[in-house]
């Protein structure tokens, strides 16, 4: 009896991490699939709007890096006001930041986990309103990303557990590029400035600026 119990406990000890890893991979795969669809939808928007990416519009409810969603959600089969049921815009590992709930459950962030590379602040590289064909290195230039690429933090291989601090170098995020491909990459952090405020040093496979 004791031997059988010991064998059962051993099997559980082996199986539990495997099951946990499988669930984590499944959630990351869902986030990646969502971002692939959104990246394609943003590029379709540009194709339908004289090559222009989304930008701030008069009367827009919030910042375009979150509310780009309003311009593209129709092409993803969504109708009516945004809501927490807009599954394609929600990463299951999203843990939010300034509110005590995920971005995908917050009206403030238009119920979405993913941001457009369009932080329109002085000195910050971004693609707001740019012509897609004017972007010099589309395979390296970020178009869409999990919010964590702004920090950087990670929702999938987190070194901070469920905490959103401190930011750290090489935190990995799922990102979409101007050429349409999606990847899971480390994001550079200089120790002082949020990642979205600058292009990385050499050796990284992305940049924020379209120049």
- Whether residue 153 contacts residue 10, with contact meaning beta carbons closer than 8 Å, is answered with no
Environment class of 89 (CB within 10 Å of its CB; exposed 0-12, middle 13-18, buried 19+): buried
Cα–Cα distances in angstroms (integers) from residue 13 to residues 1, 17, 20, 159, 161, in the given order: 18, 7, 11, 23, 21
Query: What does the pLDDT look like over 131-143, one tens digit per residue?
Result: 999 999 999 999 9
Q: Contact 65/117 with Cβ under 8 angstroms? A: yes
Pick from 81, 75, 92: nearest CA to 37: 75
Residue pLDDT, tens place only, 65-108: 999 999 999 999 999 999 999 999 999 999 999 898 999 999 99
**How many CA atoms, within 13 angstroms, populate the side-chain half-sphere of residue 97?**
18
The residue among 26 and 75 whose pLDDT is bigger is 75
Burial class (CB in 10 A: 0-12, 13-18, 19+), 129: middle
Average pLDDT on 177-205 reads 98
Spell out the domain ranges in the chain: 2-197
Chain segment 36-47, per-residue pLDDT in tens: 999 999 999 999
Q: What is the pLDDT of residue 1?
A: 57
SS3 at position 92: coil
Rounded Cα distance between 1 and 8, Å, is 11
Q: Is 185:173 a contact under the CB 8 Å cutoff? A: yes
196 and 173 in contact (C-beta within 8 Å)?
A: no
Token pair listed for 60: 């827009």
Tokens 């930041």 found at: 97
The model's pTM: 0.88
Query: Does the pLDDT at position 19 exceed 50?
Result: no
pLDDT at 5: 46
Q: Strands across the sheet with 142-146, in order?
A: 114-116, 142-146, 171-177, 182-187
């Amino acid at each position: 009896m004791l031997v059988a119990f010991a064998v059962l406990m051993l099997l559980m000890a082996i199986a539990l991490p495997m099951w946990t890893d499988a669930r984590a991979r499944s959630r990351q795969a869902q986030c990646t699939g969502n971002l692939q669809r959104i990246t394609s939808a943003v590029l379709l928007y540009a194709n339908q709007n004289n090559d222009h990416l989304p930008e701030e519009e008069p009367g827009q409810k919030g910042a375009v890096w979150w509310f780009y969603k309003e311009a593209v959600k129709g092409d993803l089969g969504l109708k009516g006001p945004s809501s927490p049921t807009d599954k394609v815009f929600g990463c299951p590992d999203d843990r939010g930041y300034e509110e005590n709930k995920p971005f995908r459950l917050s009206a403030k962030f238009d119920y979405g986990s993913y941001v457009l590379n369009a932080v329109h602040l002085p000195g910050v590289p971004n693609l707001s309103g740019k012509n897609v064909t004017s972007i010099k290195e589309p395979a390296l230039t970020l178009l869409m990303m999990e919010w964590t690429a702004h920090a950087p933090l990670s929702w999938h291989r987190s070194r901070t557990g469920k905490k959103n601090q401190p930011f750290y170098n090489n935190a990995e995020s799922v990102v979409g590029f101007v050429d349409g491909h999606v990847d899971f990459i480390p994001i550079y952090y200089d120790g002082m400035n949020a990642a979205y405020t600058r292009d990385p040093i050499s050796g990284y496979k992305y940049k924020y600026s379209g120049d």
